[in-house]
């Protein structure tokens, strides 16, 4: 029983650490905040190509999280990066990867694409 409690405490502390680190490297923007500046930034949809083709924010480039490590050359470090995925989980993971590679101005859409009410492009 003590081992289980110890493991639970470790898991909670690790989750808290990751949450605090994410808040430090990534700015979560409401749709209105996101909309204000995403045209001046690098807008990146980190969903898989089939999801992207099903509909994406106008002007977004598709660099799936699964390919991001190999496609970093496509993302400039001197411009803000605006990320989004379906719900916010993958964009958070993408931001952690980008931060490790030296990217600083990282932002993502609160609630992800499923909460987006603006213009979209679909094939």
Residue 83 neighbours by CB under 8 Å, 6+ apart? 44, 46, 91, 94, 95, 106, 107, 108, 109
| Under 8 Å between Cβ of 33 and 99 | no
| Residue 70 burial (C-beta neighbours within 10 Å; 0-12, 13-18, 19+) | exposed
Which position among 29, 60, 83, 85 bears the catalytic label?
Answer: 85
Separation CA 2–CA 81 (nearest Å): 45
Separation CA 54–CA 123 (nearest Å): 6
Active-site annotation holds for 19? no
What is the set of active-site residues? 85
């Amino acid at each position: 029983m003590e081992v289980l409690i110890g493991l639970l405490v470790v898991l909670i502390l690790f989750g808290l650490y990751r949450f605090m680190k994410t808040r430090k490297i990534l700015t979560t923007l409401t749709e209105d905040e996101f909309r204000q500046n995403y045209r001046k930034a690098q807008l990146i949809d980190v969903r898989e190509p089939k999801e992207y083709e099903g509909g994406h924010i106008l002007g977004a480039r598709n660099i799936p999280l699964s390919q991001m490590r190999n496609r970093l050359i496509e993302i400039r470090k001197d411009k803000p990066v605006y990320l989004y995925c379906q719900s916010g989980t993958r964009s958070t993971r993408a931001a952690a990867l980008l931060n490790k590679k030296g990217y600083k101005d990282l932002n993502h859409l609160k609630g992800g694409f499923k909460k987006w009410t603006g213009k979209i492009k679909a094939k």
